[in-house]
Amino acid sequence: MSDTEHRLPERDRPWMMRTYAGHSTAKKSNELYRSNLSKGQTGLSIAFDLPTQTGYDADHELARGEVGKVGVPVAHKGDMKQLLDGIPLDKMNTSMTINATAAWLLALYIVTAEDTGVDQQLLQGTTQNDIIKEFLARGTYAFPPGPSMRLIADMVAYTVTEVPKWNPINICSYHLQEAGATPVQEIAYAMSNAIAVLDAVRERVEEDQMGRVFSRISFFVNAGVRFVEEHAKLRAMGILWEELGRERYGVTDEKQLRFRYGVQVNSLGLTESQPENNVQRIVLEALAVTMGRNARARAVQLPAWNEALGLPRPWDQQWALRMQQVLAYETDLLEYPDIFEGSVVMDGLVSELLEGARAEMAVVAEHGGAVAGVDYMKAALVDSHRERIHRIEAGEQIVVGLNKYTETEPSPLMDEEGGIMTVDLGVQQEAIEALAAWRESRDQAAVDAALAEVRRVALTDENIMQATIAAARAGVTTGEWSQALRDAFGEYRGPTGVGEAAAGADDQDIEALREEVDRVSDALGRRLKILVGKPGLDGHSNGSEQIAVRARDAGMDVVYEGIRLTPAQITQSALQEGVHVVGLSILSGSHRELIPDIVTSLREAGVDAPVVVGGIIPEADEQPLKDAGVAAVYTPKDFDMRRIMRDIVALVAEHNGIADPAAAGAA
């Protein structure tokens, strides 16, 4: 080996560094972006609020509590213009985490650029636009699978010629791992998903365009704390991708075959307990995606140390950005060629993963591919997650500070606000008023005509983009565009995956719990019945799914209807189903508005069952919820679901005047 083979002639340029950000209003978010850019961040990553992501305006019933919470609300071209004010769109690389309404947000971006004199040919960036993973893990879908895939194919076909530097879709495996996927599942489902998209696009473009189309598809992946295996996973994905390009789509150009990906590292493993430990986890995970040059990320965004507490403040995000900067600029990481070339361990791990992924891809293909196989994959993810939780409960998987080494000094990182950012509750009202003013000010006839055209095109084979861009120009709102398509395409509820989840292993704990459930059920006259409800637009379903499955395994009858329910729907279900206890799960931060609404609505309907709540509930909010009538509050630190189940059974017993056998025996 010559002297220079183990060094690069020139240090590599670092990957693109982003911070996923946005909140409250377009104006506030614009200020945040500008300040982040001035700190050395090199790209924009826009977080939209849930109403914008699911296609509702701020005044919709389901938007309650969610406007401006976890991202920025963008209702029309005026909001987009304000959001991007002063940012040079011909130079900026903008990533938008937007899926069901991606065509619409891209249209708003294009129209905003147009208004500032930038041609769409120059725009660079990414729309996430991966609907299959929304059905599987993320929950911000709006339309049924068929029409959703068609919208994606339309966008790809449009951008490939009209916005050639745009990545119209980012195939996401990130969210799958966050929903419990194993590395093999993450690879297999992402690749199956890519196949579904490419097959759909193939029907809409000329054959000779497929190489270009293939090269525009990028990935958004995850990296967990088992960072050696995670690096192997990325190498395996690169190999599979190239193989797919050559064999299935006839791509030959090496450059077009390259596997390009961005990352957000694992957040599911970040803890509420001893949250400072998350910093180590994040740095190690960042290594997974940067260590080997042959499979290095193009763009990285890191979560913050307080991930499991609530939304990060600017300082928390700055810390996360600094982690990347230390890695890229202080270490020698970027001075070498691939450091795993020829590694027996790495090659071995890669081939293990490839084998597993190919087998699982074959199973998905047997289910008719990724679209038809959504139900199968969803159930498989719920099941993997069930196993992950079991390993943590049993102590087989060590999580420092959570199930081991739990003794701790008080954390000086916490302030009076609980170490998180809180969004002003007045934001929604402001947004509703601004929306009304916007509707007043526009040419309604032009809006009606534009929406009629969107509706017409939706029912034909024509590409949806032109009509969408015209609607954006006319001042149509996010909710209006989405409703036009809901009218044309119909609505859809994703599968919950819980019905098929296997029962956990029978052990002493669960047996004892079942006996107690049987005893209380006998005293009640019928089996203990629980409603697990997910109010609002929150798509975080992991917790509610696992609670539902565990409650069944404990012997309860469980009603779980999936995500996105209004307080009225939850009330009606609780009443009609005659449940003994109502469990609500909210992680998106809308609990302060929605939970008291639901308790009131339940009581008004005559349902007196106790209500328990779980999710990301900052400590300061616990007492107000209890004052509103909530019996118990659980957060991620309560990782032992066996205990939660025992509490629930005891709560039902107490509420119904059923004596505790232990107490009775002692008396």
Partner 1 sequence: MAAAGPPDGAALAARLRDGDLAAAPAVLNLVENRGAAARPQIAALLGGVSPTALGAEAAGHVIGVTGPPGAGKSTLLSTLVREWRGQDRSVAVLAVDPSSRRSGGSLLGDRARITFDPHDAATFIRSTAAGTRLGGLAPATRAAAHALAIAFDVVVIETVGVGQSETEISEVADTVAVIVQPGSGDSLQFLKSGIMEIPDVLVVTKADLGQIALRARRDLAAALRSAGSRDTAVVAVSAVASPPVGMAELTQALDAHRATLDLPARRLASRRASALADFVVEHGERGLRAVGGRRDAGRLLAAQDPGDDIPTLVAALEAAAPGIMGTA
Binding site for partner 1 (CB under 8 A): 144, 488-493, 496, 498-499, 503, 506, 510, 514, 517-518, 522-527, 548-549, 551-562, 566, 568-569, 571-573, 575-578, 654-658
Closer Cβ to ligand B12, 480 or 545, answer by number: 545
Stretch that binds ligand B12, among 172-180, 284-292, 447-455, 489-497 (CB under 6 A): 172-180
Closest CA to 105 of 161, 53, 27, 51: 53
Q: Looking at 538, 553, 597, 621, which residue is catalytic?
A: 538
CA distance 653 to 519: 10
∠ CA 220-83-458, nearest 5°, is 65
Q: Phi-psi category of 232—alpha, beta or left, where left has phi over 0 and alpha has psi -120 to 50?
A: alpha
Q: Looking at 20, 33, 189, 249, which residue is catalytic?
A: 20
130 is catalytic: no
Give the one entry of ligand B12, partner 1, none that residue 86 binds, where binding means its C-beta sits below a cut-off of 5 to 8 angstroms depending on kind. none
141 is catalytic: no
CB of 62 to partner 1, least distance (A): 12
CB of 139 to partner 1, least distance (A): 14
CB of 255 to partner 1, least distance (A): 40
Give the one entry of partner 1, ligand B12, none that residue 510 binds, where binding means its C-beta sits below a cut-off of 5 to 8 angstroms depending on kind. partner 1
507 is catalytic: no
How crowded is residue 250: how many other Cβ atoms within 10 Å of its Cβ?
12
Whether the CB-CB separation of 129 and 99 falls below 8 Å is answered with yes
Closer Cβ to ligand B12, 174 or 489, answer by number: 174
Give the phi and the psi of residue 449 in degrees, each rounded to 5.
Answer: -65, -45
404 is catalytic: no
CA torsion 321-322-324-326 (nearest 10°) is: 170
Residue of 538, 553, 557, 597 interacting with ligand B12 (CB under 6 A) = 538
CB of 490 to partner 1, least distance (A): 4
Closer Cβ to partner 1, 396 or 491, answer by number: 491
CA distance 57 to 67: 9
CA distance 490 to 459: 11
CA distance 137 to 130: 11
Whether the CB-CB separation of 122 and 91 falls below 8 Å is answered with no
Whether the CB-CB separation of 257 and 268 falls below 8 Å is answered with no
Give the one entry of ligand B12, partner 1, none that residue 345 binds, where binding means its C-beta sits below a cut-off of 5 to 8 angstroms depending on kind. none
Helix segments in 61-167, DSSP class H: 77-83, 102-115, 131-133, 145-162
Helix segments in 532-585, DSSP class H: 542-553, 567-577
CB of 127 to ligand B12, least distance (A): 13
Q: Looking at 69, 534, 580, 591, which residue is catalytic?
A: 534
Query: What are 357's two structure tokens?
Result: 């992924």
Closer Cβ to partner 1, 551 or 612, answer by number: 551
Closest CA to 135 of 97, 95, 94, 189: 189
Residue of 94, 126, 290, 635 interacting with ligand B12 (CB under 6 A) = 635
540 is catalytic: yes
The 8-47 contact track toward ligand B12, x by CB under 6 A, reads ---------------------------------------x
Residue of 310, 419, 497, 535 interacting with ligand B12 (CB under 6 A) = 310
- DSSP code at position 76: S
Residue 262 binds ligand B12 (CB under 6 A) = no
Q: Phi-psi category of 297—alpha, beta or left, where left has phi over 0 and alpha has psi -120 to 50?
A: beta
Can you point out the beta strands (E) in 415-477? none
23 is catalytic: no
Contact residues for 416 (Cβ-Cβ < 8 A; gap 6+): none
CB of 146 to partner 1, least distance (A): 8
CB of 191 to partner 1, least distance (A): 25
Give the one entry of ligand B12, partner 1, none that residue 525 binds, where binding means its C-beta sits below a cut-off of 5 to 8 angstroms depending on kind. partner 1
**Quick one: how far is CA 75 from the chain centroid?**
21
CB of 521 to partner 1, least distance (A): 8
CA distance 234 to 350: 9
Closer Cβ to ligand B12, 106 or 270, answer by number: 270
Give the one entry of ligand B12, partner 1, none that residue 19 binds, where binding means its C-beta sits below a cut-off of 5 to 8 angstroms depending on kind. none
**Helix, strand, coil distribution of the chain in percent, nearest 5:** 50, 10, 40
Residue 401 binds ligand B12 (CB under 6 A) = no
Strand partners, 582: 531, 611
Residue 579 binds ligand B12 (CB under 6 A) = no
Strand partners, 404: 400
Could you tell me how many residues of this chain bind ligand B12 (CB under 6 A)?
A: 45
Closer Cβ to partner 1, 128 or 585, answer by number: 585
Q: Looking at 28, 69, 77, 175, which residue is catalytic?
A: 175
337-376: which residues touch ligand B12 (CB under 6 A)? Answer: none
Residue 67 binds ligand B12 (CB under 6 A) = no
Closer Cβ to partner 1, 269 or 562, answer by number: 562
Stretch that binds ligand B12, among 137-145, 209-217, 486-494, 571-579 (CB under 6 A): 137-145
Closest CA to 201 of 156, 144, 256: 156
DSSP string covering 35-103, please?
Answer: HHHHTT--SEEEEBPHHHHHT--TTSGGGTTTTTSSSB---SHHHHHHHTTT--TTT-EEEEE--TTHH
CA distance 412 to 231: 34
CA distance 565 to 574: 12
Binding site for ligand B12 (CB under 6 A): 47, 50, 70-71, 97, 137-140, 175, 178-179, 267-268, 270, 307-308, 310-311, 532, 538-544, 546-547, 583, 585, 587-589, 612, 614-616, 634-636, 638-639, 641, 644
Q: Which are the catalytic amino acids?
A: 20, 174-175, 534, 538, 540
